[in-house]
Amino acid sequence: MAPPILSRLSFSGEVRAGRTIEARWICNHPMETGFRVDDAGQRIARHIITLVQCRLNGQLILQATPGTGWSSPAYLAFSLVVPEQGGTVVVSWLDDQGTQGQVGKRLVLLP
């Protein structure tokens, strides 16, 4: 069994109600395009992320269907407005081999 593919979610900016912050997601996925060959001349199998979904308090706020253009590690940054009650941001992903992952982080409001 392959080891899990790790990912991390962080925020940039003051997490205050009504403010716009930047969420940054990074995933240690191999993102192999299927176009490269190894030293023996054999094509390296394609292994890419095919779907990324970002949810704020359970509501879908961003969906991406990346192709072979993302390099490894996969990186996505997006802006969001912090809700009055705070909440949780969850980023989930799926790749073309059926592997999936998810990472979430609470929006802890500053006083």
Q: What are phi and psi of 95, to 5 degrees?
A: -115, 175
Q: For 66-91, write each residue's pLDDT tens digit.
A: 989 899 999 999 999 999 999 999 99
CB neighbours of 95 closer than 8 A, spacing ≥ 6?
29, 47, 48, 49, 50
Q: Whole-angstrom Cα distance, residue 31 to residue 70?
A: 7
Looking at the domain assignment, is residue 69 inside a domain? yes
Q: For 31-43, write each residue's pLDDT tens digit.
A: 999 999 999 999 9
Tally of domains in the chain = 1
pLDDT confidence bin for 111, thresholds 50/70/90: confident
Q: Whole-angstrom Cα distance, residue 107 to residue 87?
A: 5
Looking at the domain assignment, is residue 2 inside a domain? no
* Mean pLDDT computed over 24-53: 96
CATH of the domain at 32: 2.60.40.10
Query: What is the domain range of residue 86?
Result: 7-107
Report whether the peptide linkage leading into residue 73 is cis, meaning its omega lies within 30 degrees of zero.
yes
